[in-house]
Amino acid sequence: MTTIVTGGAGFIGSHLVDRLLDDGREVVVVDDFDAYYPRAVKEANLAAALARPGCRLVELDVRDAAGVGALVRETRPEAIVHLAARAGVRPSIAAPALYTEVNVLGTVNWLEAAARLDPLPRFVYASSSSVYGDRDEGPFRESDPVDRPVSPYAASKRACELMAHAFHHLHGLPITGLRFFTAYGPRNRPDLAVSLFADRIERGEPVVMFGDGGTRRDYTYVGDIVDGVARAIDRCEGLKLYNLGNSRPVELREMIETLAAALGKPALIRLAPEQPGDVRQTFADVSLAARELGYAPSTSLREGLDRFVAWYRSPRS
């Protein structure tokens, strides 16, 4: 049983590859090692997996429709997990066309290739909590209206959800979308808040806190998210959409304090204005995923940050 994982050398993707190999699946990792952050980081993420039987790497840009189609025809996967994307709210404001091209066109290329296979593969893709926009009320439910994105990144992820609906309707492709909520943990992307803050606290430099620290995020440990993705692959049928979060929002100032405690160092705070595209909170209702997937996140913020710090301070080539 072969599973293609796009973005498989990234933060969440590499953890998923490890999980699928542990489950006895053959995995084809697709990644283009985009320069958004250093190639060496992704190579380190994937090194252990590539040393195991049943795992191979294909360097491929998701925008290469011919290359995507050829790989899918050659591999004939049982499942495709499409995680590859241009990530980040703030960078998308500076490059909206690039985000649209990679995230939307790239997703369409994989959907189209999957829809041409017989039998049809299961198709699982990453969406984002950002599709919910800027809102005070919570928790966020999959049935809530999501027609007011506040960044090009959020809009691109919502567009992918609409494309998934169209391909399921036209071709009967079994598709599951997963809205991830603020993943963190070992192999954290270097541009994410937990990594940036850890760097500054470790060096004794001020942490830049945008706003008054009262914004809330539903920080979700990467292992919990990966467990949800694995369950979604096994249960992919029809057209589904699930939140994968922790359902326990934490204020930014509390997250910084908890990270500082995990590092055993004080956090010096420098206040800065709120940034365009930021939202006041993310807050996942995970009852649907719990009921239909058996999803049950169990990692507390302190436990997850302790694991992150252990990885962060470990020797890495």
**Catalytic positions, written as ranges:** 153
Write a three-state SS string for 94-130. HCHHHHHHHHHHHHHHHHHHHHCCCCCCEEEEEEEHH
Cα distances from 1 to residues 51, 55, 71, 113, 299, in angstroms, run 19, 12, 16, 18, 30
Bridge partners of 209, per DSSP, are 271
Place of tokens 């079994």: 174
| Per-residue CA distances from 296 to 263, 299, 311 (Å) | 27, 10, 24
CB neighbours of residue 28 within 10 Å: 23
Answer yes or no: are the C-beta atoms of 208 and 172 closer than 8 Å.
no
